[in-house]
Amino acid sequence: MRVAALLKRALFAALWFMFLTLPFLAVELNPGQPAVVWRGRNLLLVGVAAFIVFGAGGLLSRRWRRRREAGFVQASGPSLAAHPLACRVALIVLSLSALIFPLVFSSYQVTIMTTALIYVVLGLGLNIVVGLAGLLDLGYVAFYAVGAYSYALLHRHFGLGFWAALPVGAGLAALFGVLLGFPVLRLRGDYLAIVTLGFGEIIRLVLENWNDFSNGPSGIANIPKPGLFGLHLSLADEQRYLYYLVLVLALVTVLVVNRLRDSRIGRAWVALREDELACQVMGIDKTRTKLSAFALGATWAGMAGVLFAAKTSFINPASFTFLESAVILAIVVLGGLGSTVGVIIGALVFSLLPEYLRAFASYRMLIFGAVMVGVMVFRPQGIMGVRRRSYRGVAGGGDE
């Protein structure tokens, strides 16, 4: 692409950003006065910044493409496996940082990080369905709600604690995943997305209108925190304890999802994602493969829901809207479909970046949205795109 075309695209992007930010940055309404104050300087700064960012990004992308075509840069990019020592050092540093985090930072920071880790679990669970199996699920929040309400209702009616409700919530969410999977076995693409979206809304509306069962919009309060051998913990100790529980669940999720991805069922999911017809011709049971993806993905959402209910001590249907499903799906897409490390990074970005941009007041979501648009424009495969695996056969079936 020539420089003139790149500058033209950058100019178009700058004008588009100026149009989108016009109501927020350039127009100010005074409630006490009928006059409208125009702030053209802010709009001009946004336009210039967008032009510079998109123009520089396009030029760098063009230069990188030329270097790759010339053979100076590998097409697949750098591999983490090529630097095992650096990976081990980074893993040790991250592990130590995660362990000492609640001992160094305030309770507010610990609470934010606990929420981020819950989104890590949710993102990895949805990554099974969307990233590996290629099934677009827009109602994933329904399984999240099933887990949360399982704990709340079991404690309210039967007095069960956190540890007894955790496997029950996971099992009920897996059951709902199978129930959702059966009607959509023959659907794909947009039709599958619409059906799963409707399923999520049905669950939310049932919880909101069935007052005798779920207490309706009022929700359920006084949900107990996880216990530690009957010890009485202070509020700060409860937050640290819950942080470590969610951290352990996130690590277990990473290990299990990686093992599933490399297993036979994981390869079947990838084959289903790439070509459903070829997958069926090769003798893979399409029904069992889809149902296992829905069930296992829902299992992690159910456990995350139990942890969410224990963390907040109060739940209501307003916590499980379509926006939550969209956020979890955006985490998977931003991180990279099928990438475990990418989903973790995406969950941390989505959870932490809006919180730490509060200093910018009303502009923080605008900055967050601009960052998201920039990532999707310059890195459409996600932060950590997955490299396709290649297998080399030996001619004649002999040994190499």
Whichever domain contains 198, its CATH number is 1.10.3470
Helix residue ranges, H only, 105-161: 107-126, 141-158
**Same domain, residue pair 55 and 134:** no
At 314, is the secondary structure helix, strand, or coil?
Answer: strand
> What secondary structure does DSSP assign to 204-240, as a single string?
HHHHHH-HHHH-GGG-EE-PPPPPSTT----HHHHHH
Specify whether the CB–CB gap between 204 and 320 falls below 8 A.
yes
> What secondary structure does DSSP assign to 285-299, as a single string?
-HHHHHHHHHHHHHH
Q: With respect to residue 389, please indicate whether it lies within any of the assigned structural domains.
A: no
Residue 12: HSE in the Cβ half-sphere, 13 Å Cα cutoff: 7
**Same domain, residue pair 66 and 101:** no
**Same domain, residue pair 148 and 247:** yes
Specify whether the CB–CB gap between 40 and 26 falls below 8 A.
yes
Write phi, then psi, for 259 (nearest 5 degrees): -65, -40
**Nearest alpha-carbon partner for 94 in 251, 226, 215, 243:** 251
Q: With respect to residue 224, please indicate whether it lies within any of the assigned structural domains.
A: yes
Q: With respect to residue 137, please indicate whether it lies within any of the assigned structural domains.
A: yes
**Same domain, residue pair 222 and 183:** yes
3-state DSSP percent of the chain in helix, strand and coil, to 5: 75, 0, 20
**Same domain, residue pair 66 and 188:** no
**Nearest alpha-carbon partner for 307 in 144, 197, 160, 155:** 144
Close Cβ partners of 363 (under 8 Å, ≥ 6 residues apart): 24
**Same domain, residue pair 29 and 98:** no
Specify whether the CB–CB gap between 77 and 336 falls below 8 A.
no
**Same domain, residue pair 236 and 298:** yes
**Same domain, residue pair 256 and 316:** yes
Q: With respect to residue 234, please indicate whether it lies within any of the assigned structural domains.
A: yes
Mapping DSSP onto H, E and C, the string for 56-78 reads HHHHHHHHHHHHHHHCCCCCCCC
Specify whether the CB–CB gap between 139 and 325 falls below 8 A.
yes
> Cα separation of 210 and 231, whole Å?
36
User: Which of 38, 70, 102 is the last residue before a domain boundary?
Assistant: 70
- Domain holding 54, by residue range, is 3-70
Instruction: Give me the tens of pLDDT residue by residue for the chain, a chain 400 residues long.
Output: 577 777 777 787 777 777 766 666 666 655 555 556 666 676 777 777 777 777 777 777 666 666 656 654 444 444 454 556 666 677 777 778 888 888 888 888 888 889 999 999 999 999 998 888 888 888 899 999 999 999 999 998 888 888 899 999 999 999 999 988 888 877 777 888 888 888 889 989 998 888 888 888 888 888 888 877 767 777 778 888 898 999 999 999 999 988 888 888 888 888 888 887 888 788 888 888 888 999 999 999 999 999 999 998 889 998 888 888 888 888 888 888 888 888 888 888 888 877 777 766 666 667 777 777 777 777 777 777 666 555 555 544 444 4
> Cα separation of 280 and 323, whole Å?
34
How many residues are recorded in the chain? 400
Surface-to-core class of residue 16, CB atoms within 10 Å of its CB (0-12 exposed, 13-18 middle, 19+ buried): middle
Q: With respect to residue 273, please indicate whether it lies within any of the assigned structural domains.
A: yes
User: Cα–chain-centroid distance for residue 66?
Assistant: 33
> Cα separation of 254 and 340, whole Å?
7
* pTM of the complete model: 0.77
Residue 63 pairs in a beta bridge with none
Q: With respect to residue 329, please indicate whether it lies within any of the assigned structural domains.
A: yes
At 315, is the secondary structure helix, strand, or coil?
Answer: strand
**Same domain, residue pair 298 and 264:** yes
**Same domain, residue pair 59 and 110:** no
Residue 84 pairs in a beta bridge with none
> Cα separation of 115 and 347, whole Å?
10
pLDDT in tens, 91-107: 777 778 888 888 888 88
Domain count, the chain: 2
Q: With respect to residue 392, please indicate whether it lies within any of the assigned structural domains.
A: no
**Same domain, residue pair 139 and 34:** no
Close Cβ partners of 365 (under 8 Å, ≥ 6 residues apart): 354, 357
At 105, is the secondary structure helix, strand, or coil?
Answer: coil
**Same domain, residue pair 66 and 211:** no
Q: With respect to residue 244, please indicate whether it lies within any of the assigned structural domains.
A: yes
> What secondary structure does DSSP assign to 31-59, as a single string?
TTSS-EEE-HHHHHHHHHHHHHHHHHHHH
